[in-house]
Amino acid sequence: MNKYILYPGCSMESSARAYMESMNAILEPLDIHFEEIDDWNCCGATEYLGINLIPAYSLIARNLALAAKQKNGTRTVVAPCSACYLNLAKADHYMQERPSLGAKVNEALAAGGLQYTPGTLDVRHLIDILVNDIGLDAIRNAVVRPLKGLKVVPYMGCMLPRPDYKNRWSDHEHPTELDDLLRALGADVIDYPLTTECCGGHMTQIGPETAFELIMRLVADADDRGAHLMATVCPMCQMNIDAYQNEMNHFFGTDYHMPILFFTQLMGLAFGREPDELGIGTELVSSRNALANIGVEVPVTQEPSAPRKKDEGLPMPRRWTKQEGKKEAVK
């Protein structure tokens, strides 16, 4: 049995529920056991670090301290969310690189009766343990419904392969872990040069125009390459490309329809699970047509009953009218 400590992260409980469900569905066939960190807290995403340094690192380190206390037989903490993975790894790394930071953070932790020695834990991402611990052979053996004929674009996102403090990934720019895994599931994997480009991160919230541009680049290139759908490893990427695709289309006057699923959802399908066990159908850009290519029928879920009528509502506030200027700048 492969035992790990799990740090799920906030989005796994809400916006990325499908990720959680599908992840749980593949644990058993691969003989993986996760033990959740008791009373874990938010990692602070990319927001906390920009406010105040020591509290931000203390917030992250509380999770590490709890995990270290809890470790029984394993020192590996698995984070399925790229942002959580990066934050946990970053705190562990910088507390070591800058001993004065480590000391201050521990001073804060002590106020809550906790302590963490950096380097105690191995922080790893879900796909890392699947590819490197469980192995592609084991995954291949568990496949009962190969995804043959499904053209998938592997989308790794940015925070997973970078900055890569512990040299875990095959490459910072064009890593192959996700490609290899999807290939093991039998999918037709498309070489996607933008695999580690950014989805816009929190810019969908604070500077949507910037984010729309980034989403556009990803979706347009995937579409150009004839992809049926995109596969991702990160809740934030999924959220931005899925939930904001319609907005993005509206902003640019385009009409893309590029579904994006978590890689675990595709694993679940390949392992013979049914779509509704894997949270398929909770995506806003439906994967129904895409999955029809491999003969998977996604039951029709209730579509939002208030679909936008394009002419309704108020016009988009155009804070920056440099749409043209923007094109100028990137020449």
Partner 1 sequence: MSEIKQERVGVYVCHCGSNIAGVVDVVDVANWAAEKLKHQGVVIAREYKFMCSSLGQELIEKDIKELGLTRVVVAACSPHLHEKTFRTAAKNAGLNPYLVELASIREQVSWVHTDKAVATEKSKAVVSGAVSRVIENVPLEELKVPINPNTLVVGGGIAGIQAALEIANAGFHVYLVEREPSIGGHMAQFDKTFPTLDCSACILTPRMVEAGTHPNITLLTWSEVEKVTGFVGNFNVTIRKKARCVKEELCTGCGICEEKCPKKVIDDVFEAGLGYRKAVYTPFAQAVPKYPVIDKANCTYFLKGTCKACEKFCPTGAIDFNQQDELVNVEVGNIILATGYDLFDARRVSNYGYGRLPNVFTSLEFERLSNAAGPTNGNIVLRDGKTTPKSVGIIHCVGSRDKNFNNYCSVICCMQGLKFAHLVHERTGATVYNFYIDMRTAYKAYDEFYQRVLEEGTLFVRGKVAEVTDAGRNEREKGKLIIQVEDTLAGKQRRIPVDMVILSSGLQPRADAKEVGKLFGISCSTDGWFTEKHPKLDPVATMTEGIYIAGCAQGPKDIPSSVAQGAAASARVLDKILQKEVALEPVRASVDQEMCSGCRICNGLCPFNAISFLEDRMVTEINPALCQGCGTCVAACPAGAISGTGFSNEQILAQIDGLLLRNIEPVEA
Partner 2 sequence: MPQMTNERVLSRLREEDLSLLHEVSMKTAGVSHLEMCIQCGTCGGSCPSAMDMEHTPRMLFAMLRAGMREEVLRSNTPWICVSCYHCVVRCPQEVHIADVMYTLKSMAIKAKLYKDSTAPHFSQTFVDMVETYGRSFEFGLASRHYLRHFPLRLPGMAPMGFGMITKGRMAITPKKIKHMDQLKAILKCASQLELTS
Report 154-213 residues binding partner 1 (CB under 8 A).
171-174, 193-194
28 binds partner 1 (CB under 8 A): no
Give the Å distances, CA to CA, from 98 to 16, 68, 92: 34, 20, 10
* Window 272-311: contact mask with partner 1 (x via CB under 8 A): ----------------------------------------
**How far is Cα 245 from Cα 216, in angstroms, rounded to an integer?**
8
Residue number with CB closer to partner 2 (179 or 242):
242
Q: Which has the closest alpha carbon to 90: 100, 74, 101? A: 101
What's the closest the beta carbon of residue 299 comes to partner 2, in angstroms? 13
**Interface segment toward partner 1; rule CB under 8 A; list 10-18, 20-28, 216-224, 256-264:** 216-224
52 binds, among partner 1, partner 2, none (CB under 5 to 8 A by kind): partner 2
220 binds partner 1 (CB under 8 A): yes
**Interface segment toward partner 1; rule CB under 8 A; list 15-23, 89-97, 119-127, 215-223:** 215-223
Interacting residues of 54 by C-beta distance below 8 A, sequence separation 6+: 101, 104, 105, 108
313 binds, among partner 2, partner 1, none (CB under 5 to 8 A by kind): partner 2
**Interface segment toward partner 1; rule CB under 8 A; list 37-45, 281-289, 291-299, 323-331:** 323-331
Residue number with CB closer to partner 1 (212 or 262):
212
Exposed, middle or buried by CB within 10 Å (0-12, 13-18, 19+), for 46? middle
146 binds, among partner 2, partner 1, none (CB under 5 to 8 A by kind): none
**How far is Cα 147 from Cα 155, in angstroms, rounded to an integer?**
17
Return the bridge partners of 188, or none: 151
> Within 10 A of 167 (CB to CB), how many other CB atoms are there?
6
At residue 260, φ and ψ (nearest 5 deg) are: -135, 125
What's the closest the beta carbon of residue 244 comes to partner 2, in angstroms? 7
221 binds partner 1 (CB under 8 A): yes
At residue 152, φ and ψ (nearest 5 deg) are: -115, 140
Give the Å distances, CA to CA, from 245 to 23, 93, 248, 273: 24, 35, 5, 27
**How far is Cα 20 from Cα 17, in angstroms, rounded to an integer?**
5
106 binds, among partner 1, partner 2, none (CB under 5 to 8 A by kind): none
> Within 10 A of 21 (CB to CB), how many other CB atoms are there?
21
What's the closest the beta carbon of residue 159 comes to partner 2, in angstroms? 7
* DSSP codes, 100-142: HHHHHHHHHHHTTT----TTSSEEEEHHHIIIIII-HHHHHHH
What's the closest the beta carbon of residue 135 comes to partner 2, in angstroms? 27
What's the closest the beta carbon of residue 114 comes to partner 1, in angstroms? 35
97 binds, among partner 2, partner 1, none (CB under 5 to 8 A by kind): partner 2
80 binds, among partner 2, partner 1, none (CB under 5 to 8 A by kind): none
Residue number with CB closer to partner 2 (73 or 325):
325
What's the closest the beta carbon of residue 194 comes to partner 1, in angstroms? 5
Interacting residues of 143 by C-beta distance below 8 A, sequence separation 6+: 184, 185, 186, 270, 271
Among 111, 300, 306, 330, binds partner 1 (CB under 8 A): 330
Residue number with CB closer to partner 1 (196 or 265):
196
331 binds, among partner 1, partner 2, none (CB under 5 to 8 A by kind): partner 1
146: left (phi over 0), alpha (psi -120 to 50) or beta: beta
**How far is Cα 213 from Cα 207, in angstroms, rounded to an integer?**
11
Residues that bind partner 1 (CB under 8 A): 171-174, 193-194, 217, 220-221, 327, 329-331
